[in-house]
Structure 1
Amino acid sequence: MYVGIDVGTSMVKAAAFDDTGRELAVQARPVDLTIRGGFVEQDMEEVYAAVVAVLSELSAAVPGPVELAGLTGQGDGVWLVDDEGRPVRAAASWMDGRAHELVDQWLADGTFETVFRRTGSAMFPGCPGPLLAWLDRYEPASLDSATAALYCKDMVFQRLTGERATTDVSDASMPFLDPRTRTYDNRVVELLGLTHRRRLLAPVSDPVATARTRDAGLPPGTPIANGPYDLPACALGAGVTAPGDGLLIVGTCLASLVGTTDLDLTGEPAGLYISTDRAGYWLRAMPAMVGTAALDWVLSTTGVRHDEVDALLAATPPGANGVRVLPYFAPSGERAPFVEPRLRAELTGVCLESTRGDLIRATCEGIGFAARHCLEAAGLTGSLAVCGGGTRSPAWMRLLADVLGRPLRVVEGEVGARGAVLAAAARYGVALDTAAWTEPTAVVEPDAARAAYYAKAYQDHLSRLTEARSRSHP
């Protein structure tokens, strides 16, 4: 048995697999986000307790020896810990927007672009650079008392194993890692005014760190590997390992990833290059801030249940009877395929005749247009896999195939946990049939007529986005 642990933003999951990649059982537990005035934080003790709980429940549901475990989780944010890996303060989430003024300043004075040209990372308010700089300015006591500024999975790994905190090249990619040398770029640290906080950056373990678990949910002594974080872990779990092939993760975050061996730091500063366990191979990532979170907000606001979405999409025509949604709902604005910290969502074309179905379809279409924008910017030329919570809606998958104008290799189940196991197996030298582990569950083909309609609607989306971006500047 192999166990994958995925510490997500709103849900912590643990999945058990047999050696053919068949999913044996999954345990999940929600975790809270505290959102107030642009601050988005998480209780680290709650997150860790959820990890231990799902592992304990999984062990009870599928008793037996565990060959090895792999760990992944949400990226970015700042998780300040002491020597024991215990929290110094609440974790600042990747969704946090408090540092938008610093990003605005760095956009204006050229620091933002300089950092991108050196690391391939386009900073946004919720990534560690701006958050650490904000904490250094407004909450220095927290940094003074911390031993390390970790990423989510690194905190969990330290608590599960007792090993000193490290991170991996994927998490370290934003924003301090030089993707060519796979080490921290101290000039970037200096540009962000953080040289005196350099000690907080966890050592980069390349390849990923391994250890054995203590008595915390898994059998003591279970071999476990730390990383990569959830985006590249999903790419592994979906079989996206060749240049040109892509992955769309329709989750809380709408993430677009395309494999590449070309490190081009000359284009528009947006997204990031994620370093992988293969030197010379990166994932060109365009992780838009909001995916299913946008739909969840609209569902909550309109009183529509998740199990009603498919029927409403089927009953509403393409174009949603004139209703349009620009799906930029995050309090920190947008980070891909452009950076606009002040950009906000827009809902237009609504009248007294508009229905709940119109609002739902317009939101799903808007998310699809955002995904197309990101995938084009990331350089998609090959096949496209899709995973995440959004794949549970067949109607949304058909809509996405039409909006994107290409077939979708739908990979269901716990794809991040699956990728974490594959990464752990590679690290420990355990031979697994990766083709069998990453087999798609379905292929959704686009409808030619609807795809042609959406190709024109996408151009309208880009025009409206340009106008919205111009209005977002003070």
Structure 2
Amino acid sequence: MSYYLGLDCGGTLIKAGIYDETGHEYAVARSALDTISRQPGWQERNLANLWHHAAAVIHKAIASSGLPACAISGVGISAQGKGVYLLDRQGQVLRDGILSSDQRALDIVRTWQQDGIPEQLYPHTLQTLWTGHPVSLLRWLKLNEPGTWAQIGHVLMAHDYLRFCLTGQIACEETNISESNLFNMQTGRYDPALAALLGIEEIMDRLPPVIGATDIAGTVTAQAAALTGLAVGTPVVGGLFDVVSTALCAGIVDETRLNAVMGTWSVTSGITRQIKTHPTQRFVHGRHAVPGQYIVHAASPTSAANLEWVSRNMGATSAAPDHASINAAIAALPKAHSSVQFLPFLFGSNAGLGMKSGFYGLQAAHEPAHLLQAVYEGVVFSHYSHLLQMRECFSTVEALRVTGGPARSEVWMQMLSDMSGLPVEIPAVEETGCLGAALATAVGLGVHADFQSAVLATATPLTVIHADPTARDAYQHKYQRYQRLIECLRQFEEVPAQALPPFLPGAPA
């Protein structure tokens, strides 16, 4: 029997899991990751600390499995996309990594939108422009940290950095870098014309070579082995964008199913062999790990991380929310009955650049359970917005397959099914990012011929939750009010400061 270790780096946790070729799990270890917010909207991560936590969870998973290090045949890595992780020309960390939820480049993206840059990019990249895209952050660094900009030697994403820590080899993996706005989806290569259009043409010679998800990118070094407990020389494959990893583990193989990922990010994705077009919408496409296929998705950092923040700041006595108590409190309330609305935009928005989070509709009779219910609803409403967009190009969807922490909450999943009107299917996979990375390793080492056979060999049972038709109208009504509230606040956010009447000292405010 061969065993494979998958490392998954998310927005709030890093996890390592060990699996055999049938997908059987032998051990999982997790560790919380710190996020640095030096200013509102800034989201950074200390890269030495990230590697320390990665090494620790790998070491713990191996120890928990009871397997000798030599039994681990290979390592794969799944990680959140976007953001930027920089090394200098000597391969040393240049600064803290910037996460995909970072919003410091907001004004840059607004200017690009006003200048029609997204429309010029899209035919080549099949991407929209977001504040946390590598190109947005690189432009910000060029304008605001010229010293950093001048020293950049290598531009990486999260799993590229962790792979470098394990192997000492520098490369960018295709499923992730294909969504950077520096990658021409038509040619399958970096495109200097894209960088020039964005004003960062100097970055081209600092972009590492592109490797595939299952390509062997290097082997574990002696230094990494000492920290992780892995054997020296263990192969490490390219790895996966975590959206691709979860879609594989959720068994998304055709257009009858969409995958909703609920974590730090709200993501709804589907798999297709065709570029999806629409008269008014631009759908984000990325290279899928399966040759000839694309992963199409709508995404925003508007998901379950909002619950973690709200719970922590509502006087919780522990760092982790008491999910069982929260679920029980929400289940005791009538569905979609409260007037309380929550905008799940603590870490970004899918409703407009610069939109902020908040509660609206509070009255004296409301209790903490109503606020928590509103958080659940707000996250579901955000997912539903993505689902509506995705169904414009996936018209044959029969069910929604859900992965991520909230999938363990029957209350939350019932709410999502009631809101969408679709059955919610929950795969019996604890850590889809880890398992997906392990599958990439098994395919790369030839244990499985391809991802299709790997997914078939590791298929898991599904829990299915069906919509309550009596609740749909109530949720739809509250969703319409949610959208009206967003529209009012969008107008508020878009009013330029200079357009407001001057404040006169001594006058009524």
Q: Identify the match of residue 430 of structure 2 among 403, 413, 419.
A: 413
Deviation per residue, 1:375-430 (Å, 9 max, x gap): 22123432321111112222111111112211111124010111112222223321
Q: 1:295 to 1:464 in 2, by over 3 A?
A: same
Q: Indicate if the aligned counterparts of 2:4 and 2:442 stay in contact, CA closer than 8 A.
A: no
Aligned mates of 1:202, 1:266 — CA distance in 2: 33
Equivalent residue for 1:260? 272
Q: 1:139 to 1:266 in 2, by over 3 A?
A: farther
Equivalent residue for 1:434? 455
SS in 2 for 1:67: strand
SS in 2 for 1:198: helix
Q: 1:26 to 1:207 in 2, by over 3 A?
A: closer
Equivalent residue for 2:46? 43
Aligned mates of 1:270, 1:346 — CA distance in 2: 28
Deviation per residue, 1:246-267 (Å, 9 max, x gap): 1111101111111122313555
Q: Indicate if the aligned counterparts of 1:11 and 1:30 stay in contact, CA closer than 8 A.
A: yes
Aligned mates of 1:416, 1:316 — CA distance in 2: 34
Q: Indicate if the aligned counterparts of 2:214 and 2:443 stay in contact, CA closer than 8 A.
A: no
Q: How far does residue 172 in structure 1 lie from its aligned partner after superposition?
A: 2.9
Q: How far does residue 122 in structure 1 lie from its aligned partner after superposition?
A: 1.0
Q: Identify the match of residue 258 of structure 2 among 230, 243, 246.
A: 246
Equivalent residue for 2:123? 117
Letter in 2 for 1:9: G
How large is the RMSD of aligned CA atoms in angstroms?
2.0
Deviation per residue, 1:165-191 (Å, 9 max, x gap): 333243332222222222123221111
- The residue correspondences of 1:198-217 to structure 2 (distance < 5 A) are 198-206=204-212, 208-210=214-216, 211-215=218-222, 216=224, 217=228
Q: How far does residue 85 in structure 1 lie from its aligned partner after superposition?
A: 4.1
Aligned mates of 1:209, 1:46 — CA distance in 2: 27
Equivalent residue for 2:405? 389
Equivalent residue for 1:293? 305
Deviation per residue, 1:327-364 (Å, 9 max, x gap): 2222xx42x4x6x2211123211100011111111111
Equivalent residue for 2:344? 327
2:335 pairs with 1:318: yes
Equivalent residue for 1:56? 59
Q: How far does residue 69 in structure 1 lie from its aligned partner after superposition?
A: 1.9
Identity of aligned residues (%): 27
Q: How far does residue 271 in structure 1 lie from its aligned partner after superposition?
A: 5.9
Letter in 1 for 2:190: Y
Q: Indicate if the aligned counterparts of 1:120 and 1:272 stay in contact, CA closer than 8 A.
A: yes
Q: Indicate if the aligned counterparts of 1:172 and 1:204 stay in contact, CA closer than 8 A.
A: no
Letter in 2 for 1:346: G
Q: Indicate if the aligned counterparts of 1:171 and 1:228 stay in contact, CA closer than 8 A.
A: no
Query: What TM-score does the superposition give when structure 1 sets the normalisation length?
Result: 0.94
Letter in 1 for 2:483: L
Count the aligned residue pairs: 469
- The residue correspondences of 1:31-180 to structure 2 (distance < 5 A) are 31-37=33-39, 38-62=41-65, 63-64=67-68, 65-83=71-89, 85-180=91-186
Aligned mates of 2:283, 2:372 — CA distance in 1: 27
Larger radius of gyration: 2
Higher mean C-alpha deviation, range 251-260 or range 113-122: 113-122
Deviation per residue, 1:79-101 (Å, 9 max, x gap): 00135643101111111111101
Q: How far does residue 458 in structure 1 lie from its aligned partner after superposition?
A: 2.7
Q: How far does residue 148 in structure 1 lie from its aligned partner after superposition?
A: 0.6
Higher mean C-alpha deviation, range 150-159 or range 408-417: 408-417
- The residue correspondences of 1:12-27 to structure 2 (distance < 5 A) are 12-27=14-29
Equivalent residue for 1:444? 465
SS in 2 for 1:188: helix
Higher mean C-alpha deviation, range 57-66 or range 94-103: 57-66
Aligned mates of 1:225, 1:279 — CA distance in 2: 16
Query: What TM-score does the superposition give when structure 2 sets the normalisation length?
Result: 0.87
Q: How far does residue 29 in structure 1 lie from its aligned partner after superposition?
A: 1.3
Gaps of 5+ in 2: 496-509
Superposed structure 1 runs of 4+ greater than 4 Å apart: 265-271
Q: Indicate if the aligned counterparts of 2:302 and 2:382 stay in contact, CA closer than 8 A.
A: no
Aligned mates of 1:209, 1:148 — CA distance in 2: 20
Aligned mates of 1:273, 1:153 — CA distance in 2: 20
Q: Identify the match of residue 459 of structure 1 among 480, 494, 498.
A: 480
Aligned mates of 1:85, 1:410 — CA distance in 2: 42
Aligned mates of 2:184, 2:255 — CA distance in 1: 20
Q: Identify the match of residue 371 of structure 1 among 371, 383, 398.
A: 383
Q: How far does residue 374 in structure 1 lie from its aligned partner after superposition?
A: 0.3
Equivalent residue for 1:9? 11
Q: 1:26 to 1:390 in 2, by over 3 A?
A: same
Q: How far does residue 456 in structure 1 lie from its aligned partner after superposition?
A: 3.4
Q: Identify the match of residue 276 of structure 1 among 288, 295, 300.
A: 288
Deviation per residue, 1:266-292 (Å, 9 max, x gap): 555666211113343211111111211
Letter in 1 for 2:299: P
